[in-house]
Chains A and B, each alone.
Chain A
Amino acid sequence: GAVVSQHPSWVICKSGTSVKIECRSLDFQATTMFWYRQFPKQSLMLMATSNEGSKATYEQGVEKDKFLINHASLTLSTLTVTSAHPEDSSFYICSASSIGQGPQETQYFGPGTRLLVL
């Protein structure tokens, strides 16, 4: 149980294009989903917190107009990187806090999406 999937796992795109990343909780309902970004040999940095049916809360320094988050249901959240540039190249990871799947304080992570902007 407690499986989180992400799609796609790898994206290569041209500068200026938009990329959508999906995060799904496969076997449980997630009250909250989180989006992180991880640069090589660095830790995970929280970008935003997403609750189903409400606007995402962004961390300081994260542009909400550039990183659009839609949390349409208790099992799906999407992150859209708009007008991507090479500096947006990174490993994007989502996680979900579960209802009824172990302690609610724990988060289950997706496998990540590697984005390369040329």
Chain B
Amino acid sequence: QKEVEQDPGPLSVPEGAIVSLNCTYSNSAFQYFMWYRQYSRKGPELLMYTYSSGNKEDGRFTAQVDKSSKYISLFIRDSQPSDSATYLCAMSDQAGTALIFGKGTTLSVSS
């Protein structure tokens, strides 16, 4: 079983839809959870960072962490065509150590 599982999609939604992206993980020691957005042929861009369990909101983006279920989510409200990208979840157990990435979910938002 891989440490981090993420449905690769692709996920296609119309503009304005609410998007839900998810990852599950197996290592209960993970404490730091991130979501990155990666456009084609570009490096990943940090979107959201969460420590331990809970919710975090930033504009149209909401990140949720449920450590009891080993499940994290990213919600995108009022999705825009510019949100079309690959979204990668990443996590680590200690500060400053390498991240373990999911495979990424490819999202396409049509206008």
Q: State whether these chains interact.
A: yes
Of A40-48, A70-78, A79-87, the stretch lying at the interface with chain B is A40-48
Decide if B103 touches A111 in the complex (CB within 8 Å): no
Of B12-20, B60-68, B72-80, B90-98, the stretch lying at the interface with chain A is B90-98
Closest residue of A by beta carbon distance from B88: A43
Given the complex of chains A and B, what is the CA–CA distance between A67 and B104 in angstroms?
Answer: 25
Main secondary structure of the interface of B (DSSP, over half): loop
Q: Is B71 an interface residue (CB 8 A)?
A: no
| Interchain Cβ contacts within 8 Å, total number | 60
Decide if B36 touches A97 in the complex (CB within 8 Å): no
User: A112 contacts which of B8, B34, B43, B49 (Cβ < 8 Å)?
Assistant: B43
What count of chain B residues pass the 8 Å CB interface test?
24
User: B49 contacts which of A95, A106, A109, A114 (Cβ < 8 Å)?
Assistant: A106
Given the complex of chains A and B, what is the CA–CA distance between A6 and B41 in angstroms?
Answer: 13
Main secondary structure of the interface of A (DSSP, over half): strand
Decide if A43 touches B46 in the complex (CB within 8 Å): no
Residue-wise, chain A 91-118 has the 8 Å CB interface mask toward B (1 for contact) of 1010101000011111111111010000
Residues of B within 8 A of A (CB): 6, 8, 32, 34, 36, 41-46, 49, 51, 88, 92, 95-99, 101-104
User: B101 contacts which of A44, A97, A105 (Cβ < 8 Å)?
Assistant: A44
Q: Chain A's nearest CB lies how many Å from the CB of B67? A: 15
